Amino acid sequence: MVDHIKVGVLGSGGKVGQAIVDAVRAADDLEFTVGVDRDDPLSDFVDSGTEVVVDFTHPDVVMGNLEFLIASGIHAVVGTTGFDDERISALTTRLADSPSVGVLVAPNFAIGAVLSMRFAQQAAKYFDSVEVIELHHPQKADAPSGTAYRTARLIAEARTAAGVGPSPDATTTELAGARGADVDGVHVHSVRLAGLVAHQEVLLGTQGETLTIRHDSIDRSSFAPGVLLGVREIGSRPGLTVGLDELLDL
Amino acid sequence: MVDHIKVGVLGSGGKVGQAIVDAVRAADDLEFTVGVDRDDPLSDFVDSGTEVVVDFTHPDVVMGNLEFLIASGIHAVVGTTGFDDERISALTTRLADSPSVGVLVAPNFAIGAVLSMRFAQQAAKYFDSVEVIELHHPQKADAPSGTAYRTARLIAEARTAAGVGPSPDATTTELAGARGADVDGVHVHSVRLAGLVAHQEVLLGTQGETLTIRHDSIDRSSFAPGVLLGVREIGSRPGLTVGLDELLDL
Amino acid sequence: MVDHIKVGVLGSGGKVGQAIVDAVRAADDLEFTVGVDRDDPLSDFVDSGTEVVVDFTHPDVVMGNLEFLIASGIHAVVGTTGFDDERISALTTRLADSPSVGVLVAPNFAIGAVLSMRFAQQAAKYFDSVEVIELHHPQKADAPSGTAYRTARLIAEARTAAGVGPSPDATTTELAGARGADVDGVHVHSVRLAGLVAHQEVLLGTQGETLTIRHDSIDRSSFAPGVLLGVREIGSRPGLTVGLDELLDL
Amino acid sequence: MVDHIKVGVLGSGGKVGQAIVDAVRAADDLEFTVGVDRDDPLSDFVDSGTEVVVDFTHPDVVMGNLEFLIASGIHAVVGTTGFDDERISALTTRLADSPSVGVLVAPNFAIGAVLSMRFAQQAAKYFDSVEVIELHHPQKADAPSGTAYRTARLIAEARTAAGVGPSPDATTTELAGARGADVDGVHVHSVRLAGLVAHQEVLLGTQGETLTIRHDSIDRSSFAPGVLLGVREIGSRPGLTVGLDELLDL
């Protein structure tokens, strides 16, 4: 018989929190213990024997939450945003005192997004050309998307490290904007279209062939499988892990 | 028994001309008569009983060619460029004197390109949003491509005529160029990538759904089926026809 | 000043009905009058001065609903299924007595689906090859989808009518099923994948080029724009109209 | 100053051989020494100080070629087919006596194809569903393609090794062939279309998101960049290397 991992959820009153509670409940190998929301005591996790807590709360409270969890010997999987270098450094220090506890902090739990970024990075140096197209719903305020921007930077870094030159481009006459934005030499195009949600294509090309890595996310629930993966793995990864891709076997 | 259409080729010494000779020879319902190149007399077409001539030559000579063909009662299918309003008007005048002769002048004989432009135009008013992505080999000098530019203008005209407002767009923070070029309110994105030839996507979106019309051309021979279609139809279309789409049954 | 069209909804208690009520309310040129559900009297539509009723109910009650509406001089836009030849014929008879009333019956109100089917039909005869790929969520019980089946039949009819032969296919060694299902000579492939909703691609190819018409529907709300289009048009289309494409200006 | 790698070509009279000669000549860091065809002596490679030989010849002669090259201390990059277990074993034995010599044998030198296969294999276990669509020109005799078949088997192996169950599929009514061929539980669909060359899509899906890895090859020259990569790397890889992916830094 397999022991179930006992999982609690912080921020269980929100939409995301509720989706995670549902996902944990639906998983055969996990057991949902308790949800803690704004007014509930963190000690509920200790009382219920929780082994891993998922935290999708708010930058203002997440550091306090983690301090308590680490001190209590409970692992954490964190989707809350706002982890700058200072916070990462503070977390590392804190974890040094509890060498058996693991914490995963990840900006993106959609496995498809994480994999497509990694594959783009790996493939980047083997192709003469690479460009990125991201496509989103028309309510989005920023262009390009944060993911596309990061993807382009990772691609550019990989190409620089390998000594690959810029993508060939003979454009001499351009209607302003046609060739997209330039992110460290990688062209990035942002489409905004009713009927879309969140999509991204990395196009890589060399003589006679192209490779396209496309990610389509049509639903905010797409973070759930990545969160569960984190829950299953973090118990055997003491210390701080940043980014879901660190848990993937690539 | 079906009578074969007797087809001659002007500019038969060039790459395109030769491809058309081959295509005519391969077609069951057509008969190749004679190829005429720079130093050959146009009278060869008359002597051989040619019914339709395909002209892929040069702007400097095409008007003289057509004058001869029209006077000789021979139909023409013309892929040579440079037909501005003045030339179109001159051709119309000339054809008025030979009411049985038909001339087709078309800037693009790739049926897929012509259809995708027409479909984009027809669909444009039924969707909240529309954008165009064109993708070409990196030796291309202009961005966007002429076809993408024309497609965007046709889309914009169709939307204006139907009283459809601009595509929704909440972008407030843009890295210069990310949202592409603006052609009469339609965003157009130009990708340049090794391994590509000539490709275009029109993306249309409304609540919960998108329609994508994509054309891929991987070979310069893609004009051949359109030329043959013109050859088969022009005999029953006296006067001047501009654009292959006029011959399509849409 | 523009007069608003007064719109009522039958089956307003269901999910689809509610979505239509919301869409009507959100439209500037329409006025929602009343929703009628299982236990409400149809006379509410008369009392409220309703001009057009949208019926997304059940095959068991729809004919009775329409009888009442036609007799009351109210136009109808019907998404309820089950309209076989017999019902269509009965409706036509009924409408003959009320020459000013219009009824639209459509199996599919997603504009993108309707357009892609129509475009596929129009393009079919200009290409050597055509195949259909449909992609759906893995809970779907039938393969291929009804839409793909209908699309393939329309394509086959268009090609037969134009005297176009079968798509070329040199396959001599096939692992059973690899080449898909054969619908009147058109190959149809059905993909079932978690993370998808409802998608279809028609691929058309000839020498050196391909044309792809893709429809993506990610949300059941995608019927709303088509229903509103029907509501706006049906008042000026007396008699029976079958299929949303009849209202499109193609 | 960088020393150029001195590269010779076996089978230099054929189309592929000639393309490789051209590619070597065009590369800044490589120096073409000599081409050897049917009637030329292999000793030309020794006389010219060749360091690496590319062999795209014939199964009947390739083992003799390699015997000579290994004995002469020359590295080899081999695209010739027909390497079964017996030949691989014989090569390994032969190389044991020349510990400084490296030989690369690869069934596919298109980097995009090799990467897409590898990425599909890596991603396979993180998604509920996976299917493969391959699309080729209509002259192809076998369906599915060898590459699609291999890709599906690699995916199936990766999923089995990770204990992932079959892709969900609720199909109860299927028109024969609609759901494609079954390769070790992975559905594979084969499209044959005029205007295509060689294309493949691996579709992976989980809750709310999909990842698509697409490879398009439009030109037989697409092996060249992979061959040059092999030429550059094999000098530092003594012994036998099977498959281009072994040289990729993934």
User: DSSP assignment of C115-172, as one string?
Assistant: HHHHHHHHHGGGSSEEEEEEEE-TT--EES-HHHHHHHHHHHHHHHHTT--PPP----
Query: Quick check: helix, strand or coil at residue D199?
Result: strand
At D219, the pLDDT band (50, 70, 90 cuts) reads: confident
Closest residue of B to C212, CA-based? B214
* pTM for the structure as a whole: 0.92
Distances (CA, A) of A140 to A143, A146, A192, C20: 8, 11, 8, 26
For A42-64, write each residue's pLDDT tens digit: 999 999 999 999 999 999 999 99
Contacts of D45 (CB under 8 A, 6+ apart): D8, D33, D34, D36, D53, D69, D72, D74
Q: What is the pLDDT of residue C1?
A: 44
Among B109, B209, B215, most C C-beta atoms within 10 A, so best to mutate, is: B209
Q: Reply yes or no on whether A125 is catalytic.
A: no
Cα-based torsion angle of the residue sequence C214, C218, C221, C224 in order, rounded to the nearest 10 degrees: -10
Q: Which residues of chain B have pLDDT under 70?
A: 1-2
Q: CA D199, D205, D208 angle in degrees (round to 5)?
A: 130
Per-residue pLDDT tens for D169-204? 999 999 999 999 999 999 999 999 999 999 999 999
Q: How confident is the model at residue D1 (pLDDT cuts 50, 70, 90)?
A: very low
Name the least confident of C218-232, D27-41, D61-75, D151-165.
C218-232
Domains of chain C: 5-105+221-247 (3.40.50.720), 111-218 (3.30.360.10)
pLDDT tier for residue A222 given thresholds of 50, 70 and 90:
confident
Chain B neighbours among A 208-227 (CB < 8 Å)?
208-210
What is the per-residue pLDDT across C59-103, written as a single tens digit (0 to 9) for each? 999 999 999 999 999 999 999 988 999 999 999 999 999 999 999
Chain A CB contacts of C110 under 8 Å are none
Percent of chain A topping pLDDT 90: 92
Q: Between residues 173 and 212 of chain D, which touch chain C (CB distance below 8 Å)? A: 173-183, 187-196, 203-210
Distances (CA, A) of D172 to C80, C139, C140, C144, D188: 24, 10, 9, 11, 18
Nearest to C169 among D131, D138, D182 (CB): D138
φ/ψ (deg, to 5) at D182: -105, 110
Average pLDDT, chain C: 95
Distance from C-alpha of A225 to C-alpha of C97, rounded to nearest angstrom:
59
Give A228-248 pLDDT, tens digit per residue. 999 999 999 999 999 999 998
pLDDT digits (tens, 9 = 90+) for D25-73: 999 999 999 999 988 999 999 999 999 999 999 999 999 999 999 999 9
A120 interaction partners in chain D (CB closer than 8 Å): none
- pLDDT on residue A1: 44
Partner C contacted by A26 (CB < 8 A): no
Chains near D (3 or more Cβ pairs under 8 Å): A, B, C
Q: Is the pLDDT of residue A6 over 90?
A: yes
> Over the stretch A83-122, which tens digit does the pLDDT of each residue have?
999 999 999 999 999 999 999 999 889 999 999 999 999 9
| ipTM of predicted complex | 0.89
Between residues B188 and C248, the one the model is more confident about:
B188
Query: Are A49 and A24 in contact, with CB atoms under 8 Å apart?
Result: no
Distance from C-alpha of A215 to C-alpha of A198, rounded to nearest angstrom: 8
Q: Which among D6, D136, D189, D199 is annotated as catalytic? A: D136
Q: Is A119 annotated as a binding residue?
A: no
D2 band by pLDDT with thresholds 50, 70 and 90: low
Q: How confident is the model at residue C220, as a pLDDT?
A: 74
CB D246 within 8 A of CB D108: no
Q: CA–CA separation, D133 vs A210, rounded Å?
A: 16
Beta bridge partners of C202: C132, C213
- D142: enclosing H helix or E strand: strand D142-143
State which amino acid sits at residue B61. Answer: V
**D170 with C144: Cβ contact below 8 A:** no
Contacts of B218 in chain D (CB under 8 A): 195, 197, 218
- At residue A249, the pLDDT reads 81
The partner residue sitting opposite B207, judged by closest CB among C209, C215, C224, is C224
**Residue from A188, A136, A212 nearest B191 by CA:** A188
Confidence label for C133 from pLDDT (cuts 50, 70 and 90): very high
Rounded distance between C-alpha atoms, residue B28 and residue A176, angstroms: 48
The H or E element spanning position B99 is: none
Residues 6+ apart with CB under 8 A from B227: B20, B23, B54, B77, B79, B109
Nearest CA in chain D to A204: D112
Q: How far is C196 from chain A (nearest CA, A)?
A: 8
Q: Which residues pair with A213 in a beta bridge?
A: A202, D213
Q: Report the relative pairing of strands A198-206 and A142-143 from DSSP bridges.
A: unpaired
Q: Which residues of B touch D216 (CB under 8 A)?
A: 195
**Max Cα distance, chain B (Å):** 68
Q: How far apart are CA B128 and CA B121, in angstroms?
A: 14
**Cβ–Cβ < 8 Å for D190, D181:** yes
The pair of structure tokens assigned to A18 is 């509720």
Pairwise CA distance, residues A144 & A157, whole Å: 18
Burial class (CB in 10 A: 0-12, 13-18, 19+), C60: exposed
* Both structure tokens of B57: 């030559």
pLDDT of residue C219: 83
Q: What is the pLDDT of residue B2?
A: 59
d(CA B52, CA B70): 11
Verify cis geometry, omega within 30 degrees of 0, for the bond prior to B41.
Answer: no
B4, B6, B58, B140: which is the annotated catalytic residue? B140
Structure confidence by residue, pLDDT tens digits, A112-154:
999 999 999 999 999 999 999 999 999 999 999 999 999 999 9
Q: Residue B16: name the closest of B222, B231, B234 by CA.
A: B222
What pLDDT score does C222 carry?
85
pLDDT tens digits, residue range C32-49?
A: 999 999 889 999 999 999
- Which residue matches tokens 């930077």? A153
The pLDDT value given to residue B1: 44
The percentage of residues in chain A with a pLDDT greater than 70, rounded to a whole number, is: 99
For C100, the 3-state DSSP assignment is coil
Best residue of B219, B220, B222, B223 to probe chain D, by most D CBs closer than 10 Å = B219
| Half-sphere exposure for C195 (CA within 13 Å, toward CB) | 31
Does residue A93 contact residue B153 with C-beta atoms inside 8 Å? no
Tokens of A157: 């870094």
Sign of dihedral through CA atoms D83, D89, D92, D93? Answer: negative
Please tell me the distance from the alpha carbon of residue D175 to that of residue C235, in angstroms, as a whole number.
41
What's at B131, amino acid-wise?
A: E
CB B144 within 8 A of CB A175: yes
Could you count the other beta carbons within 10 Å of the beta carbon of residue D43? 11
> Which residues in A lie closer than 8 A to residue B167 (C-beta atoms)?
138, 192-194
**Other C-beta atoms within 10 Å of C166: how many?**
11
Identify the sign of the CA torsion C38, C43, C49, C52. Answer: positive
Query: A236 — contact with chain B (CB < 8 Å)?
Result: no
Q: Enumerate residues 6+ apart whose C-beta is below 8 A from A67.
A: A94
User: Which are the contacts of C160, defined by CB distance < 8 A and separation ≥ 6?
Assistant: none
Nearest to A240 by CA among A57, A34, A97, A136: A97
Residues of C annotated as part of the active site? 136, 140
CA dihedral (B112, B113, B118, B121) positive or negative: positive
Among C44, C45, C5, CA closest to C23? C5
Rounded to 10 degrees, the C-alpha dihedral C152/C157/C158/C160 comes to 120
- Helix (H) / strand (E) element for B45: namely helix B43-47
Q: Rounded to an integer, what is the distance from CA C105 to the centroid of its chain? A: 8
Contact assessment for residue B142 and residue A112, using Cβ atoms and an 8 Å cutoff: no
d(C-alpha D119, C-alpha A46), whole Å:
41
Residue C92 Cα to chain centre, angstroms? 19
Neighbours of A85 (CB within 10 A): 7
C141-175 per-position pLDDT tens digit: 999 999 999 999 999 999 999 999 999 999 999 99
Share of chain D above pLDDT 70, in %: 99
Measured CA to CA, the distance from residue D222 to residue B212 in angstroms comes to 28
Helix, strand or coil for residue B40?
coil
What's the pLDDT score for residue B222? 85
Q: List phi, psi (to 5°) of C221.
A: -70, 0
Query: Which residues, numbered 135 to 164 in chain D, qualify as contacts with chain C under a Cβ-Cβ cut-off of 8 Å?
Result: 135, 138-144, 149
Task: Check residue D243 and give left, alpha or beta (phi > 0: left; psi -120 to 50: alpha).
Answer: left
